[in-house]
Amino acid sequence: MIEKAEKILQQYYGYSSFRPGQEEAILHVLEGRNTLAVMPTGGGKSLCYQIPGLSLDGTAVIISPLISLMKDQVDALLSYGIAATYINSSLSAEEQHQRLRDMKSGRYSFVYVAPERFDSPNFLSALNSIPLSLIAFDEAHCISQWGHDFRPSYRSIVPTLKKVSNLPVLMALTATATQEVIKDIKQLIDVSEEDVVNTGFARENLSFRIIKGRDKREFIDEYLTKIPNESGIIYTATRKDADQLHYLLTKKGFSAGKYHAGMTEHQRKQSQMDFVQDEIKTMIATNAFGMGIDKSNVRYVIHYAMPMNIESYYQEAGRAGRDGEPGDCVLLFSSQDINLQRFLIDQSPSEEKKKDEYVKLQAMVNYCHTHTCLQQFILDYFDDPTAPEPCGKCSNCTHEGEEQDMTKEAQMVLSCIKRMGEHFGAGLTAKVLKGSKDQKVKQFRFDTLSTYGIMKGYTEKQLTRFIHFLTAEGYISTGQGKYPALQLTKEAVSVIKGDQPVIMLVETTTARQELNYNEQYFEELRQLRKRMADEVGLPPYVIFSDATLKELTVYLPETKQEMLQIKGVGEQKWEQYGETFLQFIRPWAENADSKPKPVRPSDASMASKKDPWEDRPSYMITYELWDEKSMSIQEIAEERNMSPQTIENHLFRSAKEGKDIHWPRWFNEEQEVQVLQVYEQSEDRKLKTIKEQLPEDYTYSLIKAVLARHHLK
């Protein structure tokens, strides 16, 4: 049975292997067992009902509460040459009738409907009169009263449905389900324990990053400048921020649109369409944007401010990388964000709700300050069943950038703030530290302070950025008034006294790009795809995904046979678009010195195993260079274009995974014992705390190495 499914996977979709959970879910459905599939966004849930729908006789009915997604799904199926349609309230009564008649004649393999359709006697009679292959509940968490998007009308169709005379196998699919929700769905549609396929919520292609102490606008400017052609979303906390940022970015010439509830429905629709059609690259939006948008090639999601809870954060950030290609999820944190969220929570009339929201907010704040793996932190929060390992690529796992001891600089800034009377903002403080001749500096006679000009080696911009960092770290608070006035906190006092060091991690801005593809060719293929998409009125990624285009630029196929080897190219796509693309690619191939061959599992029974090269974690690559090629940390850092710290962290990670490491390079026995003792006695077990209690020459590297050897961090 599974052979047939594999054939369909290859023939229609052009994929050579299943993603985790897909094969299992498909098998259960094919065996006629009601199945619940819990898979992360972008995990490939659609295939789990589409492949059984194609293998079994009859029509598959897909119920989805998100009307806006139906058209996309249907377009995608049609592009594979599969007969599909949707029936919902966006159509005229005439069209609805026509499609219903066609459905009754058995014309469709797939019919998408909203839950309301079950109130229609006509629809029910159609259901009862044709053979059905399966019925699937998409976004199934909405049928559970424990789900955060509970829709009573969705739940209420279940009893009606069960009266259908030729009831086929049922399937439920969702990306968010707590244990309670799972239990509820199981009961509701009779799924037995063995037929729950739960792959957890991890999104392995996403890298999470938290950036503190940077000027947010400057960060975004640099970021977009580096990847102006990639598609991404920037979430702001308020409409005002969205408007301002949009104004600034478009003024600078970036291709950006905006979306928030203050715009008219028409404006919002237009904006959303521009984004989906790749007319604009960056969408700047409030959290009003995203529900029901299925754009698979979103490469980054930047949060301009911290959201209210981890649920929203993961949902919004999760809109990156639905196509399985790398997605960069960046949260720009500043401590003012917390005040804003508190303020929003305080608007709620219900005390109980407020309390609940505060607890969730605290978890969000903890996420921003945690030293553990960010992916792990999120999954723990959701009680993920898979007990995940550290991801190896979030900003905490990689510690990309340099750790710098900034204690002395922090003392200068803090004492300057104190001397200025704790009444002024970051801008003026930076001017004083820089020794600026600004009017305002003179007016307040700040040029007579002992801190005037003590940091003149820095630019004002760097100083402001550093002040933001100190604020994010909790050494400075910004007061409650309309204009933020910098004030020292308790922690600041310990810094000034020399009791507490200030360590700053200088992050890099680069977005990750993992596949070594040809950017220029990619750009040309992307334009070709856009032209073709416009011609047929489809979103570009329905033609081919970004991943497919990237592979095309690497493997440069010249024949149909070679083209079918490319991920995402099946018979149908070949028929429709193959030649057009080949014509484009052939001249490149002719000019190329050599062409690599796609590495694909050759034996079909191996198909569900992961391609070892595709998913090899970064730290393993480092370890191999270290172990097999005996390269030094410095050499590997240069070769891989990463910082030595990152390389070192990779090695420690490898050690934790059981690889051999020659430890004397980092510490001797006496140092090891001492670090362990301090670790045991420290309260919070944070690196910083441990370092403070050890002699000067115990570097962070040394401490991290000891902890890695003993699997302590």
397 binds, among ligand ADP, Zn ion, none (CB under 5 to 8 A by kind): Zn ion
- Interface with ligand ADP includes 15 (CB under 6 A)? yes
- CB nearer to ligand ADP: give 22 or 618: 22
**Single residue of 2, 12, 18, 132 touching ligand ADP by CB under 6 A:** 18
Asked if 662 and 627 count as a contact pair (C-beta separation under 8 A), the reply is: no
- Interface with ligand ADP includes 572 (CB under 6 A)? no
Residue 520 has phi, psi (to 5 degrees) of -70, -45
Q: Considering CB under 6 A, how many residues would be counted as binding ligand ADP?
A: 17
58: three-class secondary structure by DSSP: coil
**Single residue of 139, 184, 323, 562 touching ligand ADP by CB under 6 A:** 323
| 132-137 β-sheet, strand order | 84-87, 110-113, 59-63, 132-137, 169-174, 35-38, 196-198
- Interface with Zn ion includes 391 (CB under 5 A)? yes
Cα–Cα separations (whole angstroms), residue 78 to 50, 75, 538, 577? 12, 5, 11, 14
**Single residue of 25, 135, 188, 397 touching Zn ion by CB under 5 A:** 397
Sequence-separated (6 or more) residues with CB below 8 Å from residue 96: 87
x/- site string to ligand ADP, residues 324 to 343, per CB under 6 A? Answer: x-------------------
- Interface with Zn ion includes 394 (CB under 5 A)? yes
- CB nearer to ligand ADP: give 260 or 295: 295
Cα–Cα separations (whole angstroms), residue 599 to 16, 610, 614? 11, 11, 9
701: three-class secondary structure by DSSP: helix
**Single residue of 157, 308, 373, 585 touching Zn ion by CB under 5 A:** 373
In the complex, the smallest distance separating the C-beta of residue 371 from ligand ADP, rounded to whole angstroms, is: 31
- Interface with ligand ADP includes 321 (CB under 6 A)? no
- Interface with ligand ADP includes 44 (CB under 6 A)? yes
391 binds, among Zn ion, ligand ADP, none (CB under 5 to 8 A by kind): Zn ion
Please give the Cα distance from 460 to 436 (Å, whole number).
9
- Interface with ligand ADP includes 46 (CB under 6 A)? yes
Query: Which residue do the tokens 């009859």 mark?
Result: 58
- CB nearer to Zn ion: give 210 or 285: 210
Please give the Cα distance from 512 to 642 (Å, whole number).
11
**Single residue of 26, 28, 45, 578 touching ligand ADP by CB under 6 A:** 45
In the complex, the smallest distance separating the C-beta of residue 396 from Zn ion, rounded to whole angstroms, is: 6
Any idea what the Cα angle at residue 317 is, between residues 215 and 402, rounded to 5°? 45
Asked if 199 and 38 count as a contact pair (C-beta separation under 8 A), the reply is: yes
Asked if 552 and 566 count as a contact pair (C-beta separation under 8 A), the reply is: yes
- Tokens, residue 393: 């690529």
- Interface with ligand ADP includes 318 (CB under 6 A)? no
DSSP letter at 578?
I
In the complex, the smallest distance separating the C-beta of residue 126 from Zn ion, rounded to whole angstroms, is: 50
517 binds, among Zn ion, ligand ADP, none (CB under 5 to 8 A by kind): none
- Interface with Zn ion includes 206 (CB under 5 A)? no
Please give the Cα distance from 635 to 639 (Å, whole number).
6
464: three-class secondary structure by DSSP: helix
- CB nearer to ligand ADP: give 44 or 53: 44
Q: Which residues bind ligand ADP (CB under 6 A)?
A: 15, 18-19, 22, 39, 41-47, 296, 322-324, 545
Q: Which residues bind Zn ion (CB under 5 A)?
A: 373, 375, 390-391, 394, 397
